[in-house]
Amino acid sequence: MAEKIIMGKEGKLQVPNNPIIPFIEGDGIGPDIWKASVRVFDAAIKKAYGGSKEIEWLKVLAGEEAFIKTGEWMPLATMQAFKDYLISIKGPLTTPVGGGIRSLNVALRQELDLYVCLRPIKYFEGTPSPMWQPEKVNMTIFRENTEDIYAGIEFMTGTPEAKKLLTFLMKEMDVKKIRFPETTSIGIKPISKEGSERLIRAAIQFAINHKLPSVTLVHKGNIMKYTEGAFKNWGYELAEREFAGEVYTWQQWERTKKESGEAVANEEMKISAIGGKVIIKDAIADNFLQQALLAPQDYSVIATLNLNGDYISDALAAQVGGIGIAPGANINYKTGHAVFEATHGTAPRFANTNTMNPSSVILSGVMMLEYMGWRDAAELITNGVAKTIRNKTVTIDFYNLMKAATLLKTSEFADEVIKNL
Ligand code: NAD
């Protein structure tokens, strides 16, 4: 009998053999891609567990389909299902234009307090890439998902709210740096210690669990000292306080250097964990973006703020084949809530053409299966996708960039992955 996934007492997920998992097909190219992906998930689970495990998929509505059928973009019943069943998966959703809800994805993240946006960046051999050695790119991005300038606290110039805030800043806070107050819009950038710590804690724990060499805190603390600079400092403090014995920080290294005059070799600091410890280091965001191109092998887990994380996620995804193949998840590790999703949009021009790449949703499913502890099924799919790309049997986005490849439709790509599981 199908059951709910629940969070156990010790903060560990309890996943039954027949879990109910809600899904949103998505708008635009979503339905084509979902139909292909779900066949891959079911086939891999069957192959891995011979029928002893099976997902019961529960269709829920959001986006255009929901609006047409119910008059609401994000029906309450959908939000409730996402809350009740803990784990869910979705295709891309149209962002409604004008008034009301800003973005359905943002609404979901806020309602479920999904504070980690997790984006693994992994290269599949043969994928067309602008990099010289794309195989050196292997990173996992932990992007803070609930704070920063993205919190949506902003006021348009000319409104009473903007005027009130500007007057307060200039008169009561003696702020003199607003260059053109008459035509200034204002946005607020809240960065908290709790918010930064829970994100960085998840990133370090992930690095430890997966035996990865380093966590890099990416920030613009040189300019924004009390928000992004504080993020970095809180990160280092947390690492030394909560993970002593398991990590080695750049700040510890600096102290050791000063105290003993002896330095751990810089190279060693950069790439390999010292005595099995995870290295905690930091990088300023602009420098990180060039280092990620010049020396991607120096970086493994990345912990960063919301806006930096948005840019970095897509930039790194482009290094290994672009958004057609980049999976993602939004997670609250405390409650267990997790929404796995395609990172691309609805590409409306290609709706119902059965031509687009389903890999982003397929690999989001891999992340979901890993999160559920169904590692064998996850591994089968990863291998299946890898072999399908290596064989040059691909959809139009890769076909256009490959030599001597075979062009497949979305559904045919799924057939091929299933054959190669
Ligand atoms: P988009 O990602 O939909 O499309 C940009 C281009 O990327 C497409 O024209 C196509 O060439 C390519 N592309 C996208 N997905 C692909 C795939 N699976 N395979 C191959 N190529 C692919 O971005 P957009 O045009 O800026 O946005 C369209 C709509 O999607 C908007 O309403 C936007 O708000 C929404 N959106 C939703 C999400 C989400 O739900 N997670 C994310 C981004 C954008």
Three-state DSSP state, 19: strand
pLDDT along the chain (421 residues), means of 10: 90 94 96 97 97 96 90 90 96 75 77 95 91 93 94 93 96 94 96 98 96 95 97 97 92 74 55 73 96 95 97 93 88 96 92 96 97 97 96 94 94 97 95
> Distance between CA atoms of 96 and 398, rounded to whole angstroms?
30
**Predicted local confidence at residue 258, as pLDDT:** 66
* 36 within ligand 1 shell (Cβ under 6 A): no
> Distance between CA atoms of 401 and 405, rounded to whole angstroms?
9
- Beta strands (DSSP E) in 256-319 are 278-284, 301-304
- Cα(108) to ligand 1 centroid in Å equals 18
- Beta strands (DSSP E) in 15-113 are 20-24, 56-59, 87-90
Taking alpha carbons only, the member of 109, 67, 70, 73 closest to residue 88 is 109
Query: For the whole model, what pTM was predicted?
Result: 0.92
Going by alpha carbons, the residue nearest to atom 30 of ligand 1 is 345
* 109 within ligand 1 shell (Cβ under 6 A): no
- Cα(346) to ligand 1 centroid in Å equals 5
Going by alpha carbons, the residue nearest to atom 44 of ligand 1 is 345
Q: Looking at ligand 1, which atom is closest to the CA of residue 347?
A: 3
**Predicted local confidence at residue 264, as pLDDT:** 55
Going by alpha carbons, the residue nearest to atom 32 of ligand 1 is 94
**Predicted local confidence at residue 276, as pLDDT:** 79
Residue 71, classified by CB atoms within 10 Å of its CB into exposed (0-12), middle (13-18) or buried (19+), is: exposed
> Distance between CA atoms of 212 and 349, rounded to whole angstroms?
40
Alpha-carbon torsion, ordered 61, 67, 70, 72, to 10 deg: 90
- Element at 108 (helix H, strand E): helix 104-111
Going by alpha carbons, the residue nearest to atom 4 of ligand 1 is 347
CB 385 within 8 A of CB 362: yes
Q: Looking at ligand 1, which atom is closest to the CA of residue 343?
A: 41
Active site residues: 150, 220, 286, 310
- Cα(239) to ligand 1 centroid in Å equals 37
* 27 within ligand 1 shell (Cβ under 6 A): no
- Cα(330) to ligand 1 centroid in Å equals 18
- Beta strands (DSSP E) in 163-304 are 186-187, 214-219, 247-249, 278-284, 301-304
